[in-house]
Amino acid sequence: METELLYLNDSYLKVFSASAVRSEGRLLILDRTAFFPGGGGQPSDRGTISFNSGKTLSVIEVKKISGEIIHVLDDEPEGSSVNAKIDWERRYRLMKLHTSIHLMDGIIRRDFGQGYITGSQIYEDRARVDLDFPGLTKEVAQKIEDTTNEEISKGREVIVKYISREEALKIPDIARTKPGRELLEKLDKVRVVEIVGLDMQMDGGTHIKDINEIGRISVIKFENKGSHSKRLEIKVPNT
């Protein structure tokens, strides 16, 4: 049975109740969950699950395997229904970092005449961004940081919507990676994250509702890995 994915339509859902579908050792499958299983560079959630037996366990990892979300717990589950809680401080930071990467991609494509993000990885406290951007220097990285912070201070709505594959295929760069482009060919309905007027891409992650929630970004590292290949690391406040 496929798990109902509550985080897809409400990325701000921090607590939820659910029923246990089955368990095996320390692995638990629920009928519905707000725990993000990781993907697209965003790590999986952490948190706690309290059972009707009175037992409360920590969620130490979350995975998605053929439509089912597997919660890896720190001990064996005990009970048929649960109240669960996402580690919100961690998840909110991951959301801010994820939306920041989309925002920077949109700004680079709009303002710099060259360069785009080829890959990214979000960590608990920062994010790594890989770019194909021959002209990217430390000075240009500073300009990207300044422009990104200007946009953040003005604010811009972030919306999640579903469009048909036909519609998606008409939008240039809707899928930014090779696996993404391959996946797009197989989907009937495509989940799209749009920073209104700036960036639109196919995405399965959790995002904030307005870029002003980011506060500001800081570029903490610049690496020149080749004529085209550059790497940046960014942080957001409270990380």
Residue 194 or 203: which CB sits closer to Zn ion?
Answer: 203
- As a whole number of Å, the CA-based R_g of the chain is 19
- The tokens for 141 are 């990285």
User: Which residues inside 31-50 make contact with Zn ion, applying CB under 5 A?
Assistant: 40
3-state helix, strand, coil in the chain (%, to 5): 25, 40, 35
CB of 158 to Zn ion, least distance (A): 11
CB of 20 closer than 8 Å to CB of 32: no
Residue 26 or 126: which CB sits closer to Zn ion?
Answer: 126
- x/- letters, 55..84, toward Zn ion (CB under 5 A): ------------------------------
- x/- letters, 155..194, toward Zn ion (CB under 5 A): ----------------------------------------
Residue 50 or 130: which CB sits closer to Zn ion?
Answer: 130
Q: Does 105 participate in binding Zn ion (rule CB under 5 A)?
A: no
- 32-33 and 4-5 beta bridge pairing: parallel
Strand order in the sheet with 199-202: 158-164, 189-195, 199-202
Neighbours of 113 (CB within 10 A): 8
- The tokens for 192 are 């799209």
Torsions phi, psi of 153, nearest 5?
Answer: -70, -30
Q: Does 203 participate in binding Zn ion (rule CB under 5 A)?
A: yes
CB of 178 to Zn ion, least distance (A): 15
Residue nearest to Zn ion (CB): 203
Q: Does 199 participate in binding Zn ion (rule CB under 5 A)?
A: no
Residues lying near Zn ion in the complex (CB under 5 A) are found at 40, 203, 205
